[in-house]
Structure 1
Amino acid sequence: MPKKKLAVIGASHFQMPLIERAQEKGCEVHAFAWQCGDVGETAADVFHPVSITEVDEIVRICREVGVDGICTIASDLATVAVSHVAEELSLTGNSVACMERSTNKNLMRRAFEAAGDPSPKSLLVSLEDDAAEKSHAVHLTESQLDAFDPCEHGLAYPLIVKPTDRSGSRGVTKVEADHEPGAVAAALREAFEQGFRREALVEEFAEGDEFSVEGMSWQGTHHILTITRKGTTGAPHFIETAHLEPAFLSPELDSRVREVVTHALDTLGVTFGASHSELKIAPDGTIRIIEIGARMGGDCIGSHLVPLSCGVDFVGAVVDVALGNEPDLTPAHEPRASASRFLFNAEDEALLAQVEREHPELVAYKQMTSDDTDGHSVTDSSTRLGHFVMSAASAADLAPYLPEQLAAYARGDAR
């Protein structure tokens, strides 16, 4: 029997778990990406040096090759090509309209607002000439940025300013009520610089702890696999420092989170594949959806933490769905605690060395992306030095190696 041909959008190390799992399942993997020496270029069976933004060319090649499915993990931008190819070639995948809503934060906010899904109040601000025609949009010239006041448009401080089309904390800034003069303008300029469009979303800051919800959908039925508790650097950029599964929510709150996310997935039109829903829960239990990606979560959440914590072959399920097969979500083992820790500086590198020295059995995976700690500045998720993943039968065993905001839950002090 000939091998199934699977197109994978992207070739960076983030796509390696997908490329390797697809090959293990007997697929011939065709990877598409701008040629720059990424590991997936040689790991894939066939590499096509085409930028993931060249959607029409990817469609042409996939039709010529006769691919049986297409997918990606951990990349919002790559899902755009996935949806277009799937729609053009009648393959299994989410619609182009779904991907537009799930990769543009403004369209997402408007969809949530119309459907009654809980999300922060927001305003689209743009330097593009056509933005003034968009709903809820304010068009500003460069000279008007310094005088722009979000309060005049019904927003209340503190605020979050971010690009409409990026992830990984890129271009995200919190602006407090007592901000310095020019802080809003500076935040907008940073968002414009980091985004692919010259657009930014200005929204009211949602109080509370951060979580993500990892799901898998098949024919419009959503399966929530687990909930992840997150640690971040806090204001102003909220770069993620660590993750913990399970999240240790009360049964009542856990149920409400699942209900909110399931409804929001329907709002976006997600019908197939992995999903990664980010939300915040205030001390009083109020839930606010920050954003939802119709793809697997990055930072090793989908590729490593989910399989370790709940035993589901999450990456394998992504492959199955792309090929038009109902995914097998049966756990392969009993639930375990799992966590990831990101490296920002030499102290974090020393912590990894400590774990490996004291309890090497806890370390399930590690990766260094840079060894330059001298004067290194972490500005977003892509500039962290690396990360490591841990797993244990008890979360308490992981607590000594987690930031205190997560360690308290792992120990049981904050539950």
Structure 2
Amino acid sequence: MKKIVIIGANSFQNPLILKAKEMGFETHVFAWQDGSVGEQTADFFYPVSIVEREVILEHCREIKPDAITSIGSDLAMLTVNYIAEKLGLPGNSMACTLVSTNKYEMRKAFEKACVPVPHFREADLDTSAEEFLGFSLPVIVKPTDRSGSRGITKLENWEAFAEAVKLSVENSFEKKAIVEEYLEGEEYSCECISYKGSHYFLALTKKYTTGHPHFIETGHLEPAGCTLEQMEVIKKEVFRALDALGVENGASHTEFMLDGNNQVRIIEIGARMGGDCIGSDLVPLSTGYDYVRMVIDVACGKKPEFVQAGKKGAACIRFVFTHQDLEHLKYLKKELPEHIHFISEMEPIQEGRVKDSSTRFGYYILTFESLEEAKEYLT
């Protein structure tokens, strides 16, 4: 039996574990033991933190896996590609991994490849606002190496600069922040799969957030509703940005702004599947493509198959922030149960507690036959 190592065991990783088992793999899952669902669904679970790369590598030398992968986590990809490189398994280079998991290094790589970027600079707790007087307000301050809307602030004036940098640094693994000029436009993401340096477009996702100041995702929608002309421009710029980072294998999630002149401005790229169930659920539900299977195939050195295994349609995810959100879900369960694809476990609502994506109380996924019908439930 073929063996696959999966880094991470939470609910966003579980579809990967289940798909691998469905494909006939023996699953070996590594994660900090905290009661996550993957601890039970894995064939073999190892209570090892995903950052313990050398410990995991030693286990992998004994397991002798045919592939190693993960979905939806930048932190996990650092371990995935490190071990893949050591064992000679398909993946991305560590150089690619480092620039695709650090927003400052990513901006420098884009700038070097002439991919348009906003004015940016690195900062830490010793950096003063006076050093940024050449920047145009507003600016975005965020950690250099975190995802999930953690530690992000939009600054309209310099008086709150120190507080914003402190928040970002506290949420950063390397204790640094990036300050960049704010981009205007509609926010989207582009979901792709790459194989041996060739990139393949799968879907566009429309993002909904809380807006200023922390921009926490409230929901996502596929398809995004862009025109064919816009899609061609987007694909060209996204593929250029992927090349700039050296992405060669696996899933990618590119966040970007699209302005009124159809100009694409890349925000950041994760060389992994989009979190928030974008890759694991929304892509297959809206396109019919089995994205998770593609990720496993590429991790095994196999070209992904673009077969529509399911029905195309529209899909959206909504996150629960308030009691009002729960009331809306109750309405949907009563009046439109046929559109409910999945409801997560819900934590007790604590008004005002949500500070980033990790502190939302739950979510639910809806499916529809048309984009117009889906939009009605995200706005």
TM range (shorter): over 0.9
Decide which of 59, 62, 69 is 1:61's aligned counterpart: 59
Amino acid in structure 1 at the alignment position of 2:194:
S
Match of 1:284 in 2: 261
Please say if 1:36 is aligned against 2:34: yes
Match of 1:106 in 2: 104
Aligned pairs (5 A) from 1:165-314? 165-177=145-157, 181=159, 183-314=160-291
Amino acid in structure 2 at the alignment position of 1:238:
F
Q: Aligned equivalents of 1:44 and 1:155: distance in 2?
A: 49
Q: Aligned equivalents of 1:342 and 1:273: distance in 2?
A: 27
Provide TM-score, normalisation by structure 1: 0.89
Number of equivalent positions: 379
Decide which of 363, 369, 375 is 1:393's aligned counterpart: 369
Stretches (4+) displaced over 4 A:
none
Superposed CA offset, 1:188-246 (max 9, x none) = 00001011111000000011111000000111110010100111110100011111111
Match of 2:316 in 1: 339
Distance apart, 1:41 and its partner CA: 1.3
Amino acid in structure 2 at the alignment position of 1:223:
Y
Distance apart, 1:285 and its partner CA: 2.2
Provide TM-score, normalisation by structure 2: 0.97
Superposed CA offset, 1:284-328 (max 9, x none) = 322211100000001010000000000000011111111221111
Superposed CA offset, 1:10-31 (max 9, x none) = 1111110000000000011111
Match of 1:123 in 2: 121
Amino acid in structure 2 at the alignment position of 1:342:
F
Q: Aligned equivalents of 1:374 and 1:168: distance in 2?
A: 19
Distance apart, 1:401 and its partner CA: 1.8
Tell me if structure 2 keeps the 8 A contact 1:275–1:295: yes
Please say if 1:380 is aligned against 2:360: no
Please say if 1:161 is aligned against 2:141: yes
Partner SS, residue 241 of structure 1: strand
Tell me if structure 2 keeps the 8 A contact 1:214–1:226: yes
Partner SS, residue 368 of structure 1: coil
Q: Aligned equivalents of 1:356 and 1:396: distance in 2?
A: 20
Aligned pairs (5 A) from 1:396-415? 396-403=372-379
Tell me if structure 2 keeps the 8 A contact 1:369–1:384: no
Q: Aligned equivalents of 2:82 and 2:375: distance in 1?
A: 43
Q: Aligned equivalents of 1:369 and 1:150: distance in 2?
A: 44
Superposed CA offset, 1:251-309 (max 9, x none) = 21111001000011111111111000000112232221110000000101000000000
Gaps of 5+ in 1: 128-139, 404-415
Q: Aligned equivalents of 2:322 and 2:183: distance in 1?
A: 29
Q: Aligned equivalents of 1:397 and 1:210: distance in 2?
A: 20
Distance apart, 1:150 and its partner CA: 4.4
Distance apart, 1:159 and its partner CA: 0.3
Identity percentage of aligned residues: 47
Q: Aligned equivalents of 2:272 and 2:346: distance in 1?
A: 23
Partner SS, residue 379 of structure 1: coil
- Cα-Cα RMSD: 1.3
Please say if 1:23 is aligned against 2:21: yes
Match of 1:149 in 2: 130
Distance apart, 1:36 and its partner CA: 1.6
Q: Aligned equivalents of 1:95 and 1:394: distance in 2?
A: 40
Tell me if structure 1 keeps the 8 A contact 2:194–2:248: yes
Match of 1:45 in 2: 43
Superposed CA offset, 1:114-173 (max 9, x none) = 00112222101135xxxxxxxxxxxx2xxxx5x422433x32110000000000100000
Amino acid in structure 2 at the alignment position of 1:98:
C
